[in-house]
Amino acid sequence: MLKGNKKKNRRVSKKKEPSLIRWRFNLICFFVCFSFFILLFRAAYIQVIEPDRLRYEGDLRSLRVKALPSARGMISDRHGEPLAVSVPVNAVYLDPVVLFDNGGLKEKERWNLLADVLGLKRQQMFENINKNKNKRFIYLQRQVGSAVSHYVRGLNLPGIGMKSESRRFYPTGEVSAHLVGVTGIDGRGLEGIERGYNKWLSGDPGRKTVRKDRDGRVVENISTEKHEEGKPLVLSIDQRIQAISYRAIKQAVADFRATSGSLVMVDVRTGEVLSMVNAPSYNPNNTADLKSFKMRNRAITDVFEPGSTIKPLVILAALENGVVDEKTIIDTGNGVMSIGGARVRDTSKIGKATLKDVLKKSSNIGVSKLSLSMPVEDLLGLYNNFGMGDLTGINLLGESFGFYPDRSRWSDFERATLSFGYGLSITPVQLARAYSVLGSLGINRPLSILKTNAVVPGKQVVSRKNAQKLLEMLESVTEKGGSAKAAAVAGYRVGAKTGTAKVAVAGGYGDEYIGYTAGLAPISSPRLALVVLINEPQGDKYYGGQVAAPVFSEVMKSALQLLNIAPDAHHSQLQIAKTSK
């Protein structure tokens, strides 16, 4: 019985033994081998055929490029006085990962001290840190001084580090702000010289490429590109004259409650700009004071109708074209002249007058008759030869062309108004250039804001003889009975012309005025051309001879003395004495 059961169990056990299914085995082996070859092919493809992608992904995780900043070049005036310098500062940064690996923000008191010394709001700083927990670098504050940096280091907070950088400092503050400009927090120029010559001043920053491990440790130095330091820039400005100019224009704007004021002084011999100021100004060292309406350099951006300051050029055009000579008499009548249904008026009746009297008394009728006596192309041609409606060559960003009329047909009244400064618009720096051309006896050369080592050759645009005649006429305007007598400088022969024009608005003219004075000194050998503009003065005084001429006299006197230019008034007195004999 037992034997039978054993035999039966053996038969059952034999039936349960698994049998090998050949086709299944072969299929599995095929898929295993196929997968192996796919992986092998993929590995070969990635590492041999196209390894660049793998290297790129690896470099993203390990390669780091560190900038090697170059020091920004110094800006100085013609005598080496610094106008913009770079000072070393630090940026305070945080590695949030390191911070939260070392207890996080538990020591609130020390973190509060950090926020206070950096000028940050405590709660806002904590929110910023918590929001960037997984980042490895965030700025807390840029451009902090050495004392603050030392204090921050003393707090010994985890994850806090310092990064060296530089900050631009402007020793002259608001005096030269419009000209020099300002840089942003990253060191790039935003306005003025800083922006226009940014590449020259900033140089070429270097780069250092390294490989780091996961803990941020440098394991390999790949390459180093040397940096090129920024180059210094020497301006044509004389900071002594610049400071005097700014003080005078700022005081005038305050005294007459004007909207703004501008002043430009040019060296007639070289075309160098010795002074360029505007009021109101701003402090480039105070970021809270950087408002766009304050930062505009009005001397090169704002245009105005030049008014009577253009009259000397009308007389010169008439002399050049042979329409008149210095002995010509012009009948201005009773001070009112009708032209094409409109009227041209003089502020004072001068009757029959010489060219000198027309300029001295600023006769609108006199210059209108001169304009009407020659083709309008001749007058516009002379304006153009003196640089109006064109860039001055000063190479400052934002300079305006102004408005230079170009019409196929002109009415007589339009030709008349063109002679006393209406119908065209120029900038203060363009007017200064025009007077510098006159002072150089007809040589037109571009202006320069950089100190020049050699005089730039110019182009003779009018005869020296006629330019000299006009200078002598211009001198009479600052003498007794002239409209610019307030522009005179004791001891020096000065030629100047004042002007007053209404502010142009959409559709015509407003109720506000612009007063200006432009002139030269000394007349015996012109050295300086100066333009002063007071925009929208309030009160009873708004004529150029009242608001701008006194500023002209003050600044011109100081500049002549600072430059050691000898007085020449005695030459004029000797000439008068000889003539009388």
For residue 42, what pLDDT band results from cuts at 50, 70 and 90? Answer: confident
* CATH number where 540 lies: 3.40.710.10
Residue 91's CB is within 10 A of a number of other CB atoms, namely 17
DSSP secondary structure string, 43-63?
HHIIIII--HHHHHHHHHHHE
pLDDT at position 1: 47
Q: How far apart are CA 423 and CA 488, in angstroms?
A: 29
Residues comprising the chain, all counted: 581
What are the structure tokens assigned to 400, written together? 């305006």
Question: What is the DSSP pairing of strand 75-76 with strand 233-234?
Answer: parallel
Q: Do 177 and 245 fall within a single domain?
A: no
pLDDT for residue 3 is more than 70: no
271 & 348 share domain: yes
Give whichever of 40-49, 89-98, 405-414, 544-553 has the largest mean pLDDT.
Answer: 544-553
- pLDDT tens string 323-346: 999 889 999 988 899 988 889 988
Burial class for 128, CB neighbours closer than 10 Å (0-12, 13-18, 19+): middle
Asked whether residue 168 falls in the same domain as residue 244, the answer is: no
Q: Which one of 191, 217, 234 terminates a domain? A: 234
Look at the block and give the residue holding tokens 């010169």.
316
- Secondary structure of 296-323 as H, E, C letters: CCHHHHCCECCHHHHHHHHHHHHHHCCC
Q: How many CB atoms lie within 10 A of CB 97?
A: 16
- pLDDT value at position 573? 45
Same domain, 266 and 188: no
- Encode pLDDT of 130-170 as tens digits: 888 888 888 998 888 889 989 988 888 888 888 888 889 99
Amino acid making up residue 393: G
Q: Is the peptide bond before 405 cis (omega within 30 degrees of 0)?
A: no
Q: Give the span between the Cα atoms of 178 and 157, in whole angstroms.
A: 42
Residue 6 has pLDDT above 60, yes or no: no
Q: With a cut of 80, say whether residue 52 has pLDDT above it.
A: no
Tell me the catalytic residues. Answer: 308
Reported confidence tier of residue 493, pLDDT bands at 50, 70, 90: very high
User: DSSP strand E in 268-379: where?
Assistant: 273-279, 329-331, 336-339, 342-345, 352-354
pLDDT tens by residue, 341-379? 889 988 888 899 999 999 999 999 999 999 999 999 999
Q: pTM value? A: 0.82
Please count the structural domains in the chain: 2
For residues 29 and 489, the model is more confident at 489
Q: How many CA atoms lie within 13 A of 357 on its CB side?
A: 16
Do 259 and 275 lie in one domain? The reply is yes
Where does the pLDDT of residue 251 fall: very low under 50, low under 70, confident under 90, or very high at 90 and above?
A: very high
Most confident of 47-56, 290-299, 534-543: 534-543
What confidence category does residue 581 fall into, taking pLDDT thresholds of 50, 70 and 90? very low
User: Which residue reads 């002209």 in tokens?
Assistant: 552
pLDDT of residue 575: 43
Do 229 and 251 fall within a single domain? no
Q: In this structure, what token pair is assigned to residue 547?
A: 């608001």
Q: Which residues of 318-344 are buried (b: 16+ CB within 10 A; e: fewer)?
A: bbbbebbeeeeebebeebebebeeeeb
Task: Kindly state whether residues 506 and 364 are assigned to the same domain.
Answer: yes
Note whether 479 and 462 are same-domain residues.
yes
User: In which domain, by residue range, is 173 found?
Assistant: 66-234
Residue 43 lies in a domain: no
Considering the domain architecture, whether residues 430 and 557 belong to the same structural domain is answered as yes
Q: What is the mean pLDDT of residues 196-209?
A: 83
pLDDT at 20 over 70: no
76, 207, 300 from 173: Cα distances, Å: 13, 33, 20
User: In this model, does residue 272 exceed pLDDT 60?
Assistant: yes
| Residue 256 in domain | yes
Same domain, 90 and 183: yes
Average pLDDT, the chain: 87
**Per-residue model confidence (pLDDT) at position 101:** 83
User: Is residue 503 classed as helix, strand or coil in its secondary structure?
Assistant: strand
The percent of residues in the chain predicted with pLDDT above 70, rounded, is 91
Does residue 578 carry a pLDDT above 70? no
398 and 493 in a single domain? The answer is yes
One domain, residues 229 and 273: no
